[in-house]
Chains A and B, each alone.
Chain A
Amino acid sequence: MTRVINFDRSFKITVPISLAIIISGLIGVAFIGFRMGVDFQAGLNTSIQFAPPSMVVSYTGEGTMRLSVAKSEVDLISQAPSGSSKSYTLGFDTYTTLQAIADGLKAIPGMQVDLKAVGSAPSSLLLGTSQTDSSLSADSPAILHYRSTDLSQLAVTVESIREALKSFGSVSIQRAGDPANREFVIRIEDSGKDQGASQSIHTNLVNALGAAFGADNVIVNSSQFVGARFSQTLAHQAVWLTLLVFAVILLYCSFRFKPVYAFGAVLSVVHDALVLVAFIVFTRMEFNTTIIAAILTIVGYSINDTIVIYDRIREKVKLNPNAIFRENMNRGVTETLGRTFITSGTVLLSSIALYIFTTGSMKDFALCIIVGVVTGTYSSVFIASAFVDMWKIIEARREKARQAGVAAAKAAELAAKKAGR
């Protein structure tokens, strides 16, 4: 048998550290507050890209023609009035320049192409169309934008956008990614007074940007509007659900183990949630639904971890009912330590993969999971067991006191009897 590690000794250090982190986190929430994401803040959140048109494409043939630009090709699907359809694909590896793409498009019957950019520019600069189903016709041509590498051609800065959007009140503008992409995240708050805000803000925004930078240069990559009522409902729901999860876990663990274990488990889970909250507050990470999902995931993961350890401690208690709890606890935690590390390791491996290969909110999510797995593992070992241990010590003391009391009473009785005799 391997050496048993005396985990109880470290409780004196770990418990205060945890408390310090949690309390500072709570103070942070109270005084600094979360950086609320768009889910919790009424308004419009858009991702806008500025790019000059490379060519204007229209279709004067019969039937309909749909065009979409994907990552490495231009796709077209035509549908003749008789119903028969045909698809064309122009891959960027064969059509390497914009000129080649334009020529390739012209070769398709009924297509008209007006090249606006330098023909020798590589076709890989073409930006994907934001709509999968842009249908072409003579009176509604499609504009294919491209990522112009010449920064002076279309100079857009946060300041110039702010200038264009002066009339909008509270506006937040952030540059996203490489400056050559000219991509910005623009958020406009909604006062909630206008019923049709979801429509009007968006239209006004696009018009204002179009007026300042040229209507053909503005691409809306994504937009999200959140109404005031929606964000409130979501926040309430999130809080209630989290509390409900705690309650159900408490019930189930009380049923499967003893109530003291259940309290320890919930305590460790609450600990993880709060440490994560501290992390989110101090890293100024945007707080949105994805982050709530991350917190609840960690709740699930941590409870899983705690139960595995409890299970082993319970087994040890059954095997050595006479040993003091602390000994059984140390043995149980030590025996499951290998498993604890390996499992946390595999979850860490997958969340690190997620962190590296995704972007945006998923990256934040992965980061929360990484932090959560670490604290979850730590809390299962140090917090959940420490609580049960503390409880057992108090229980033992009370028992001692009770026994002492009983003994004292007995002694007194004896003395009384003696005296009476």
Chain B
Amino acid sequence: MSKIQRLLIVLAVIAVAFAFLWPTVSWYFFTDKADQALAVGSREQIREYARSMAVSDLNELKTRAARGDQTPLPATKFASVLQAASKAYKDARRGAPKSWTAATVLAGFDNERAAYDSIENVYRTTVMNLKAKHGKAIQLGLDLSGGMSVVIQADMQALSQKVGHTLSAAEKDDAMKRGIEVLNSRIDKFGLTEPVIRQQGEDQIYVEIPGAADPERINSIIMGKGNLAFYIVNDDATNKLNELLTNNPTAVDEKTLTVSDPNLVPAGYVIRKFYKKDNYGLDEFTGRYMVIAETPGLDGNHIQSAQVSTDPITGAPETNFVLDKEGGEIFYKLTSANVGKTLAVVLDDHVKAGARIQEPIRDQVRMTGFNQDEAQNLALLLRTAALPVELTVVNQQAIGATLGEDAVHAGIFAVSIAFLLVIGFMLLYYKGAGINTAIAEIINLFIMIGVLSAFGLTLTLPSIAGFVLTIGVSVDANVLIFERIKEELRLGKGRIASIKAGFDKAFWTIFDSHLTNLIAALFLAQLGSGPIQGFAVSLAIGTICSLFTSLFVSHLIFDFETDVLKLKHTSISWRVK
């Protein structure tokens, strides 16, 4: 490989590392605190923010327009409005107006609803982009940011006793999905930061709530079994409500789920939000509401099984479920009395699906009108009631935010000191060649953090320790090469020959030793959860990076000194000239 090629590879790697690192830098250093607080919030909160911002902007636009205010809108306060308006003008293939006054802005939209929608959209997109940036930035582990984590164990034994046979892998998987589904539906009640919920291993669920360190609050997520039930929808009131929302987007009070007009929702009915799964499998509010009966028509514990099949004629997916005998009777009475109305499937106050009742039904129920994914999700949902999974907390951790802050400072300090000590030693001992180590180590650290960022890994205290150790260990490769070069120089070889021989001879040693180290690190990564994994992963990444920088970068620096700086001698030791 020519030297130019090698230089290009090194530059490319650095550039890629930088690209991965950029979201981290821009999030932690260039994002306003208030914006950060907004972006880490739940999706529902962000929606609420966008809604209220759009309404207040729109109201101000209307008052300005009614006044006949001809002054241009202030650009900073109305940035989102102007963005929405110029897009509206563009889409309509009209030239932008000479000055952006309230009237010209409003004239850009077909009606008020369109104006509201596009302004809201701009606000939401801005925050969601920020949220995406946060997602790409290196996440601080709970030990650094403060917060709490819970490991929840699904009781597979109890479940297998209930179904009467040992569970297959697919059944276990389904049980885990049901457990997560139930937890998911309670997420956004939670508030200020968005929790992480994911499966861990075969039968555990990991829940993490950054920021909050109050164990009481976790209760509302993990306690209880998830309450699934069928409710009759008041279609008339639902239509009226949605009509009202077209004109007045903030008619529903988000906290209490009520409207100011008491006649809209008849007695015995309540407003509930309608949710769909987003791309991440999380519940996402659709923006639609349903007015449903206060008391459930049928409780979910009558469901015995649920699966997806296809309609033999149309080929459309459908969800089938079977009720027990008692449930069949109740359901028959319910559906007979409500033919033509909508039936809502509700889990913990979240409306998940609705379907029209075509005819009275007993215990064999068929629900249609969904695509394949929706049908699958619905069947899973119904199974949460048919085969509830017992969840117990096996590990719970809450860490105060201040402890985390202290830990970050101590960690950064330890890394810097370790770095300076090691580099200082290398410069003292290897003189000029120590500079190679310094540059290689800086690039090493840089790539390591870049890789960490690329894989979306979490930075924890142990992973900082991993970095510190890697600094020490990765110098090893440099030492091996330098010692070899010194030996060659002692034999009387020239600079170029010594350097080449040094690298060649050290190659397999470095390769073998790094590989075995990597094996140990990768196995370590399998152990348990969280902290050790973070440490092992950073050790593994560090090992690979050190292989690259020591063999590639350091060699290139020697070549650079030879070819460009025209060095004849090698400054590598106090004794060998």
Show the binding face of B for A, using Cβ within 8 Å: 32-35, 37-38, 49-50, 52-53, 56, 123, 145-147, 150-151, 153, 191-193, 210-216, 218-219, 223, 392-403, 405-406, 409-411, 413-414, 417-418, 421-422, 425-426, 429, 461-462, 465, 468-469, 471-473, 475-476, 479-480, 483, 487, 508-509, 512-517, 519-521, 523-524, 526-528, 531-532, 535-536, 539
Contact A241 B472 (CB under 8 A): no
Contact A241 B395 (CB under 8 A): no
Contact B509 A131 (CB under 8 A): no
**A13 in the interface (beta carbon within 8 A):** no
Contacting residues, chain A, for B56 (C-beta < 8 A): 82-83
Contact B410 A359 (CB under 8 A): yes
Contact B414 A354 (CB under 8 A): yes
| Contact bitstring A228-252, B, C-beta under 8 A = 1, else 0 | 0110001001100100110011001
Q: How many residues of A contact B (CB 8 A)?
A: 91
Contacting residues, chain A, for B523 (C-beta < 8 A): 241, 244-245, 248, 296
- How far is the CB of A347 from the nearest CB of chain B, in Å? 4
Contact A131 B52 (CB under 8 A): no
| 22 A-B pairs (CB sep. < 8 Å) | A86-B34, A87-B32, A129-B400, A133-B191, A220-B215, A221-B399, A221-B403, A225-B396, A244-B523, A252-B515, A256-B512, A289-B527, A296-B536, A300-B516, A300-B539, A303-B513, A347-B473, A349-B422, A351-B468, A353-B417, A358-B410, A359-B410
Task: Give 6 A-B pairs besides A85-B38, A132-B401, A366-B465 with Cβ atoms closer than 8 angstroms.
Answer: A132-B146, A223-B215, A245-B523, A301-B473, A353-B418, A369-B469
Name A89's closest neighbour in chain B (CB-CB).
B33
Name B543's closest neighbour in chain A (CB-CB).
A300
**A339 in the interface (beta carbon within 8 A):** yes
**A128 in the interface (beta carbon within 8 A):** yes
Contact A227 B512 (CB under 8 A): no
Given A227-B392, A241-B523, residue A357 in contact with residue B410 (CB < 8 A): yes
Which chain A residues in 294-349 approach chain B with CB under 8 Å? 296-297, 299-301, 303-305, 307-308, 311-312, 335-336, 338-339, 342-343, 345-349
- State the CA gap A202–B215 with chains docked (Å): 8
Contact B153 A230 (CB under 8 A): yes
- State the CA gap A337–B515 with chains docked (Å): 22
Contacting residues, chain B, for A124 (C-beta < 8 A): none
Given A220-B213, A297-B469, residue A311 in contact with residue B49 (CB < 8 A): no
The 8 Å CB contact of A308, one of B35, B509, B539, is B509
Contacting residues, chain B, for A81 (C-beta < 8 A): 52
Given A307-B516, A311-B508, A349-B472, residue A133 in contact with residue B396 (CB < 8 A): no
Q: Flag the segment in A66-74, A164-172, A404-412 that touches B.
A: A66-74
- How far is the CB of A84 from the nearest CB of chain B, in Å? 7
Contact A292 B532 (CB under 8 A): yes
Name B51's closest neighbour in chain A (CB-CB).
A83
Contact B400 A128 (CB under 8 A): yes
Given A225-B393, A227-B394, residue A357 in contact with residue B469 (CB < 8 A): no
Contact B395 A253 (CB under 8 A): no
- How far is the CB of A2 from the nearest CB of chain B, in Å? 10
The 8 Å CB contact of A225, one of B395, B418, B426, is B395
Name A335's closest neighbour in chain B (CB-CB).
B487
- State the CA gap A47–B400 with chains docked (Å): 10
- How far is the CB of A309 from the nearest CB of chain B, in Å? 9
**A127 in the interface (beta carbon within 8 A):** yes
Which chain A residues in 373-398 approach chain B with CB under 8 Å? none
Name A242's closest neighbour in chain B (CB-CB).
B523
Given A343-B479, A357-B410, residue A303 in contact with residue B33 (CB < 8 A): no
Contact A227 B153 (CB under 8 A): yes
**A77 in the interface (beta carbon within 8 A):** yes
Contacting residues, chain B, for A221 (C-beta < 8 A): 399-400, 402-403
Contact B192 A133 (CB under 8 A): yes
- How far is the CB of A77 from the nearest CB of chain B, in Å? 5
Name A127's closest neighbour in chain B (CB-CB).
B402
Contacting residues, chain B, for A195 (C-beta < 8 A): 392
- How far is the CB of B445 from the nearest CB of chain A, in Å? 12
- State the CA gap A129–B405 with chains docked (Å): 11
- State the CA gap A224–B509 with chains docked (Å): 44
Contact B37 A345 (CB under 8 A): no
Contacting residues, chain A, for B480 (C-beta < 8 A): 308, 339
- How far is the CB of A147 from the nearest CB of chain B, in Å? 12
Contacting residues, chain B, for A132 (C-beta < 8 A): 145-147, 193, 210-212, 401
- State the CA gap A343–B478 with chains docked (Å): 9
Contact B38 A131 (CB under 8 A): no
Contact A350 B524 (CB under 8 A): no
Contacting residues, chain A, for B213 (C-beta < 8 A): 130-131, 220, 222
Given A77-B33, A293-B536, A350-B469, residue A133 in contact with residue B417 (CB < 8 A): no
**A365 in the interface (beta carbon within 8 A):** yes
Interface of A is mostly: helix
The 8 Å CB contact of A357, one of B216, B396, B414, B535, is B414
Name B209's closest neighbour in chain A (CB-CB).
A133
**A254 in the interface (beta carbon within 8 A):** no
Contact A349 B418 (CB under 8 A): yes
Contact A346 B475 (CB under 8 A): yes
Contacting residues, chain B, for A230 (C-beta < 8 A): 151, 153, 394-395
Contacting residues, chain A, for B519 (C-beta < 8 A): 245, 248-249, 252, 300
Contacting residues, chain A, for B215 (C-beta < 8 A): 198-199, 202-203, 220, 223, 225
- State the CA gap A387–B406 with chains docked (Å): 47
Contacting residues, chain A, for B520 (C-beta < 8 A): 245, 249, 296-297, 299-300, 303
- State the CA gap A226–B231 with chains docked (Å): 40
- State the CA gap A129–B521 with chains docked (Å): 36
The 8 Å CB contact of B398, one of A75, A220, A290, is A220
Given A127-B402, A347-B472, A369-B469, residue A303 in contact with residue B517 (CB < 8 A): yes
Given A252-B515, A304-B473, residue A82 in contact with residue B52 (CB < 8 A): yes
Contacting residues, chain A, for B479 (C-beta < 8 A): 339, 342-343, 346
- State the CA gap A31–B192 with chains docked (Å): 51
- How far is the CB of A227 from the nearest CB of chain B, in Å? 3
Which 8 pairs of residues, A with B, have the shortest CB-CB distance?
Answer: A128-B402, A300-B520, A227-B394, A130-B400, A347-B472, A350-B472, A350-B418, A83-B53
**A90 in the interface (beta carbon within 8 A):** no
- How far is the CB of B410 from the nearest CB of chain A, in Å? 5
- How far is the CB of A289 from the nearest CB of chain B, in Å? 5
Contact B462 A293 (CB under 8 A): yes
Contact A304 B476 (CB under 8 A): yes
Given A338-B483, A346-B422, A365-B465, residue A249 in contact with residue B52 (CB < 8 A): no
Contact B516 A303 (CB under 8 A): yes
Contacting residues, chain B, for A301 (C-beta < 8 A): 473, 517
- State the CA gap A132–B514 with chains docked (Å): 41
Given A128-B400, A345-B425, residue A350 in contact with residue B527 (CB < 8 A): no
Interface centre among A226, A343, A346 (most CB of B within 10 A): A346
Name B409's closest neighbour in chain A (CB-CB).
A71
- State the CA gap A310–B84 with chains docked (Å): 69
Given A66-B37, A66-B192, A230-B153, residue A346 in contact with residue B516 (CB < 8 A): no
Contact A222 B396 (CB under 8 A): no
- How far is the CB of B479 from the nearest CB of chain A, in Å? 5
- State the CA gap A69–B513 with chains docked (Å): 47
- How far is the CB of B417 from the nearest CB of chain A, in Å? 4
- State the CA gap A349–B216 with chains docked (Å): 43
Contact B398 A128 (CB under 8 A): no
**A181 in the interface (beta carbon within 8 A):** no
Contact A354 B418 (CB under 8 A): yes
Given A353-B414, A358-B411, residue A307 in contact with residue B513 (CB < 8 A): yes
- State the CA gap A198–B532 with chains docked (Å): 23
The 8 Å CB contact of B524, one of A83, A128, A227, A296, is A296
Contacting residues, chain B, for A336 (C-beta < 8 A): 483
- How far is the CB of B434 from the nearest CB of chain A, in Å? 11
- State the CA gap A127–B405 with chains docked (Å): 12
- State the CA gap A226–B401 with chains docked (Å): 21
